[in-house]
A and B are shown apart, each in its own frame.
Chain A
Amino acid sequence: AQKITQTQPGMFVQEKEAVTLDCTYDTSDPSYGLFWYKQPSSGEMIFLIYQGSYDQQNATEGRYSLNFQKARKSANLVISASQLGDSAMYFCAMREGPIGGTSYGKLTFGQGTILTVHP
């Protein structure tokens, strides 16, 4: 079974509007972390936001917020006030196990969602 599932191959949004990118995950470990990365056409991976499984509040970083629904095993990324520079591939990733545990910070990535922002 896929550990990270991103069901939207591509998404379109109008500039200045909000957009939600979906991510569901599968793990039996009670301790895990969820990450979102942005990959522009140049190829580098840019860290956006992190959510720990025991964090009580949804993570926020500027225009990025993570809608964490633990019971549903979903960790959707919300980008508010979209900008043309947000056009990129977005990846959801998961670390299983606690920080400092034997997982050594290994990440499992989803297939990605291509976001296109229209002017």
Chain B
Amino acid sequence: DGGITQSPKYLFRKEGQNVTLSCEQNLNHDAMYWYRQDPGQGLRLIYYSQIVNDFQKGDIAEGYSVSREKKESFPLTVTSAQKNPTAFYLCASSIGGTSGGYEQYFGPGTRLTVT
């Protein structure tokens, strides 16, 4: 089955620790995205990547970092510099590339709680 996987579904961390959220897709999509969602709110773009070894900051990139070493993988690290990291994190992908693409397909999300 083609799709996007995010693991784990729930993640708990102590304040001051970095944590990496996994996102893998087997849709052969070029573009991948990370969003953050706070309770009762819409999605806000953290980082996005159009091709391997290239990525751009979104609207709320401070305190986060990403890498894109493989087409199918786009891990997100929430660093200790992120002031309020507790949130629901969603990874997405789209055809991207020179064709641009239409809809984004989303993974099931990771709910991160930092105490």
Interface residues of A (CB under 8 A from B): 4, 33, 35, 37, 42-47, 50, 91, 93, 98-101, 104-112
Contacts and interface: CB of A to CB of B under 8 A. Distances in A.
A105 B101 contact: yes
Given A91-B43, A104-B31, A111-B42, A47 B100 contact: no
Contact of B109 (A43, A93, A107, A112): A43
B109 to A, nearest CB: 5
Count class of interface residues, chain B: 20 to 34
Interface of B: 31, 33, 35, 40-45, 48, 50, 56, 58, 88, 90, 92, 94, 96-109, 111
Given A91-B42, A111-B41, A106 B102 contact: no
Name, among A33, A93, A101, A107, the residue most crowded by chain B CB atoms within 10 Å (CB to CB): A107
Contact of B50 (A44, A93, A104, A107): A104
> Which 10 residue pairs across A and B have the least CB separation, nearest first?
A99-B100, A100-B100, A45-B106, A109-B42, A47-B103, A109-B43, A43-B109, A111-B42, A104-B50, A105-B94
A46 B50 CA distance: 22
Contacts of A107: 33, 43, 45, 104
Nearest to B95: A105
Contacts of A45: 43, 90, 92, 106
Contacts of A104: 31, 48, 50, 56, 96, 100
Nearest to B44: A109
